[in-house]
A and B are shown apart, each in its own frame.
Chain A
C-alpha cells in the first residue's frame, strides 16, 4: 500500500500485523533473558568472592607470589566449584524434586496475583506501590473470617476469600478515590496506606477477638480447616486460581469496555476525557481491581498455607510484586512467567542456603539486579559490543537496523 513515508512511520516497521507481533516481542524477550543471565553472572561473582576456599587461595597467592600459577589455578578451581555448587543447589531447590516444585509454585502464586494487581494499575497509568498494604488488610479479613466463624466447608472458604478480596479492593479503591477526587498522587497515597495498613493490622491483632490462645505475641489463630484451600497431590487449589486471575486480567484488558477505557486513560488521559470517558471511574475501578488481586495474593498465603495472621504474614509480597510486574512488562502472561521465575528463585534460595551454605540474601541481590538490567536495556545491549567512536551515530544506525 502506498503510504506517504516519514522516518517516524517507517522506523517502527511496516510488516504485516502477525509478523510485527513476533518481531516486536523478540527484542523484549531477548533483553529479559540477557538481564537474567547478567544478574546470574554478577551473582556468581558474589559467590566467588565470599567463598572461603577462594579467599584462602587468594591470601596464599599474595603471601607466596612465587607460586603464582599454582594458587591462581586453585582460585579458578575453587571459584568454579563454588559457583557450580551454589547454582546447582539453586536449580535443585527450585525444580529438582516434587517438594521443591511444590514450594516454587506455592511461592509463585501470591507473587503472580499481587503482580497482576500492580500490572493492571500500571496499564491505567498508575504506579501501585500499595500491593503490600492491600494484601495485609486482605490477609487480616480473610484470616478473621477463617478462624472466627464456623461455617460449612466450601461456604466457609468462599466467605473467607470474599472477605480478603473485599478488604483488598476497598484498600486499593481508596487510592483511586483519593486520586480522582483530590488529585493526590497514587505513589504517595499507596506508600502511606502501606504504613496505615500495617498499624491497622497491629491494632486489630492486639484485640481479644484476634488473639491466639496462650500466646503473648501479636498473632491470630490459623484459619479453620473448613476455610482453607483443599489440596490435590500436595498442591493447594489456590494456585490454579492465580492462573484464572491472569486469564481474567487478560480478558479485562483486551476484551472489555473497562479495559479499553483503562488502557486509553493510561496512555492518554486527555484524549480519553475528550472522548467522553470518566477518568474518575477508571481510577477507582482499576485500583479496586488491583487491591482485589492483592487480597487474593493474601488468601494464597493465609488460606493456602494455613498461616496465622501477623503483621509479617504476607512477607514482602507487595514489593516483590512491583518487580514481578515490571519484569513481566505489565502483561498478564509476562507477569505469570516473572512470578514463576521469582517463586523459583525464592524456593531455590532455600536449597542454596541449605546445601551450599550461600546466604539467601544473594537471591534478593539477583532479583534486584534482574530488574535493574531490565530497566536499563540500552546498558545491557551495549555489553560486549565494541563501543564506537560516535555513540549517536551508532544508535541511529541501530534503530535503522532494528527497523
Chain B
C-alpha cells in the first residue's frame, strides 16, 4: 500500500506543530523519520493514526483520500502502530492480548482462544518472531513484548507499521533482532515508518530518511549519508557527536562502595555484593541493560534506600546511613534516571525547580522564609548559563521539552560545589543538541576534579563519557573494562556472558 501525505498541517491555536508536510511511503520500504524531541514527529504520527485531525492537507492511501475519526479507522485502513510504551495486559497471555478488543467467540459469548493462538503461531512463523502464544506477558522480556505489539498490529492486517522509538527499551542484541524482523516484514511487503533519533539505527536499516525540524520537513537523505550530515539536518547546525576529551586516570578515590547489597521491597536481591571506587577527575560509566540493579545501586549511594549490607565512603567518611539531605549537603550531585518521577516537580516553575534541593541553604532562605529575590536571580542566571529554553522563569517545568527539563535538573545539581556527581541516564529523551551540551558540562565537571559516576543503557553515551566502564548484569558488576573495549564485547557482557567466555 502506498501512503502519501500532502501538505499536512496541524495547528494548536497560534502554534503550528506540523507545517505543510509532504511525505510518500512506498510499499515495502522502511522510511525513517528523524527529528529531535518536539520536532513534530508525534503530531504527524497521531494524525496518521487518527488520534488528531489535520487542520489542512490530506492523507492518501493508494491515491484515495482518507478521513480517520480514530485509531479504529486507521487500523481498518491498514495502518498499525507500536507505541513506545506498550499497551499490553501483563497477566494475560500473548494470544489473549492479541485478540483483546476484537475477540472471536464460539457463539454465546464463549471465547475462541484457539483461533487467536493459531493466528499468533502463524504470524510468528511467517515473520520469524519466535513468540509463544501461551506465555504470560509479565514473564517475557521487553524485546519479546515489543514483538507481541507488532503481532497485534499485523493481526489487524496492517500494511503500514508505525514504530515509535522502538529501540529505546532494548538491549543491543535485541535491537539487532528487531532490525532483522523489520527487514523480514519489509521483504514480505509491509511498509514501516521508523521513528527515532538514533542515527546509527537509521543508517543500518532505513531505505529513505526524512528529517523533520520545527514541524517542517527539512530534507530527505539516503542511508548512505554520514551521521554528521544527518545530525546537522536534525539540529540545524553542525553538532559534535563525540565530546572531545582526553581519557584520564583519576586521582584519589573520592567515592568508594564496598560490598553493597540491596534487597528491594518485594524481597528480591537486586544489588549483589557490588564494590567499586570512583576517583577524583575521572568518569566511571556503569553500562547495563535497564533493570539489572543500577537503579537501586545509585539510590543506595544517595541514601534514598539504605543498603542492606556494605559500606559507602565519601573521602574516607562512612555515609552508608546518610539520608539524601545529608548526602546532598556533603557534596553529592544527583541526576536521577527518571527526571519526571524523581528529578523535578512538574507543576512547579523553572524558578522553583532550580532550587528544589537548595532552598534550605543560607543563600535562598532566612529562618522560615524563602528569599524570593535570590531565588529569582538564581533562576535568571541559570537559565542563561545552561541555555534553558523557557518562555519565562515562571513556566511550569512539565511544559518544557525533555531536553530543557533535563537542563533544569543538571543546572540545579551543577550549581553548587560537588565532590561526586552521580548521573543516571543523563540524556534519555533529550535532543541531539542538548546531549552535546550536557555531555560537555559533565566533562567540564570531571576536569574540575569531581568524581563522576554515569549510569547509562546507551552504549554511545558510555563510550562518549567514560574513562573506565563497569558492566552491570543481574545485580553484579561483572567486569570493569577500559573504554577501548570493542562494542560487541561490551554488548555480550551486558547480555550476561561471563568475561571468560567473551574474551
Closest chain A residue to B347, Cβ basis: A267
Q: Are A276 and B323 in contact (CB under 8 A)?
A: yes
Which of B11, B38, B53, B346 has its CB near the most chain A CB atoms (within 10 A)? B38
Per-position binary interface string of chain B over residues 384-403, scored 1 when its CB falls under 8 Å from any chain A CB and 0 otherwise: 00000111101010111101
Q: Which residues of B contact A376 (CB under 8 A)?
A: none
Question: 8 Å CB contacts to B: which residues of A248-303?
Answer: 255-258, 260-261, 263-264, 267-268, 270-278
Q: Is A20 interfacial (CB 8 A cutoff)?
A: yes
Q: Are A274 and B15 in contact (CB under 8 A)?
A: no
Q: Is B325 interfacial (CB 8 A cutoff)?
A: yes
Question: 8 Å CB contacts to B: which residues of A1-50?
Answer: 1-14, 16-17, 20
State which of A3, A276, A392 has its C-beta within 8 Å of the C-beta of B390.
A3
Q: Which residues of A contact B130 (CB under 8 A)?
A: none
State which of B39, B214, B304, B394 has its C-beta within 8 Å of the C-beta of A274.
B304
Looking at chain B's contact residues, the main secondary structure is loop
Q: Is B352 interfacial (CB 8 A cutoff)?
A: yes
User: Smallest CB–CB gap between A18 and chain B, Å?
Assistant: 9
Q: Are B394 and A2 in contact (CB under 8 A)?
A: no
Give CA–CA (A185, B201) in the complex, Å.
Answer: 48
User: Smallest CB–CB gap between B421 and chain A, Å?
Assistant: 15
Q: Is B37 interfacial (CB 8 A cutoff)?
A: yes
Q: Are A270 and B348 in contact (CB under 8 A)?
A: no
User: Smallest CB–CB gap between A80 and chain B, Å?
Assistant: 43
Q: Are A9 and B369 in contact (CB under 8 A)?
A: no
User: Smallest CB–CB gap between A373 and chain B, Å?
Assistant: 25
Q: Are A16 and B369 in contact (CB under 8 A)?
A: no
Q: Chain B contact residues (Cβ within 8 angstroms of A): what range?
A: 35 or more
Q: Which of B157-165, B287-295, B335-343, B464-472 contacts A (4 or more CB under 8 A)?
A: B335-343
Closest chain A residue to B364, Cβ basis: A257
Q: Is A63 interfacial (CB 8 A cutoff)?
A: no
Per-position binary interface string of chain A over residues 350-368, scored 1 when its CB falls under 8 Å from any chain B CB and 0 otherwise: 0000000000000000000
Q: Is B370 interfacial (CB 8 A cutoff)?
A: yes
Give CA–CA (A8, B346) in the complex, Å.
Answer: 13
Q: Are B372 and A267 in contact (CB under 8 A)?
A: no
Q: Are B334 and A4 in contact (CB under 8 A)?
A: no
Q: Is B13 interfacial (CB 8 A cutoff)?
A: yes
Per-position binary interface string of chain A over residues 188-231, scored 1 when its CB falls under 8 Å from any chain B CB and 0 otherwise: 00000000000000000000000000000000000000000000
Number of interface residues of A (CB under 8 A): 45
State which of A6, A393, A401 has its C-beta within 8 Å of the C-beta of B53.
A393
Give CA–CA (A260, B359) in the complex, Å.
Answer: 8
- With A263-B348, A390-B69 as contacts: A271 and B394 at CB distance below 8 Å: no
State which of A20, A257, A267, A272 has its C-beta within 8 Å of the C-beta of B370.
A257
Per-position binary interface string of chain B over residues 329-359, scored 1 when its CB falls under 8 Å from any chain A CB and 0 otherwise: 1000010100001111111100010001101
| 9 examples of A-B residue contacts, CB within 8 angstroms | A4-B37, A4-B214, A5-B15, A13-B13, A255-B372, A267-B348, A271-B342, A274-B342, A276-B328
User: Using a CB–CB distance below 8 Å, which chain B residues touch chain A?
Assistant: 11-15, 17, 36-40, 42-43, 52-53, 69-70, 214-215, 302, 304, 323-329, 334, 336, 341-348, 352, 356-357, 359-360, 365, 368-370, 372, 389-392, 394, 396, 398-401, 403-404, 431
Other than A16-B391, A393-B69, give 19 A-B pairs with Cβ distance below 8 A. Answer: A1-B390, A4-B38, A4-B401, A4-B403, A4-B431, A5-B17, A5-B40, A6-B17, A8-B399, A9-B400, A10-B17, A11-B12, A12-B399, A255-B372, A258-B368, A268-B346, A274-B302, A274-B334, A403-B13
User: Using a CB–CB distance below 8 Å, which chain A residues touch chain B?
Assistant: 1-14, 16-17, 20, 255-258, 260-261, 263-264, 267-268, 270-278, 390, 392-393, 396, 399-403
